[in-house]
Amino acid sequence: MTGRDRTAVWEAVHDERRLLVGDLEGLTGEQWSTGSLCPGWSVHDALAHLVDSATTTRVGFVRQMVSARFDFDRANDQGVRRHRASDPQQTLAAFRAVTRRTDTPPASPATRLVEAYVHGEDIRRPLGIAATYPSEHVMTALSYLARTGAGIGGGRERVHGLRLCPSDVDQHIGEGPAVRGSAIALLLATSGRPCGVGELTGPGAEVLAARS
């Protein structure tokens, strides 16, 4: 990825963080307690994870993994506990304060797009908040996730032997029975999240759903 590409990625991530802040202003206490698409995490928890993700440096990531005995799920849960304030508005204020940060674990810049868009939908969908995402950057996230193994958080095994055909982009990923839907729906499905009824169609849609 070139320097220009990295700059574009960070601009997209910063834009998405700002938009999410705007969507979450004014939520009620009940809404903050709503279950997100991340099993076991509320909307508030998922936002705390985004604060943790935005403030994790390369060195900090190594320290977190050592502390969690190299268990990604444990490390994520520890991050949520670190950044989840007793008042959701304080957590939102913390997220607002880091929207322009460019800290990142030792991983491809595309992971920052995956974090932004997948967790954005983890939060928005259960709350009934609709959002529009830039297709170009969603495709960068989807391409990365589709070629990355599950051992490091990818979805390669989930989409193996399938052709992902986004309805809003003239491009496809993979070969095999087609799975059709919006780029953001395909990104969610590749990450293992559930999609709404009828969001994904084509002969490969049932196969992908069964692997989620």
pLDDT tens, residue by residue, 90-103: 999 999 999 999 99
Given this model, what pLDDT does residue 77 score?
Answer: 86
Phi, psi of 201 (to 5 degrees): -135, 180
Terminus-to-terminus CA distance in the chain, angstroms?
A: 29
* Beta strands at 178-181 and 163-166: parallel, antiparallel or unpaired: parallel
Q: Phi/psi of residue 102, each to 5°?
A: -125, 25
Of 127, 122, 125, the residue nearest 48 (C-alpha): 122
**pLDDT < 50 stretches in the chain:** none
Distance (Å, whole) CA 166 – CA 199: 11
Comparing C-alpha atoms, which of 13, 45, 43 is closest to residue 117?
A: 13
HEC profile for 118-131? HHHHHHHHHHCCCC
Closest CA to 190 of 170, 208, 165, 163: 208
Among the listed residues 133, 151, 129, 210, the one whose alpha carbon sits nearest the alpha carbon of residue 177 = 210
Find the length of the chain: 212
Contact indicator for 146, 118 with CB cutoff of 8 Å: no
CA 169, CA 120: separation in Å to the nearest integer?
Answer: 20
Rg from Cα positions in the chain: 17
pLDDT of residue 1: 64
Locate 42 and state its tokens.
């509320």
Residue type, 31: Q
Six token digits for residue 210: 């069964």
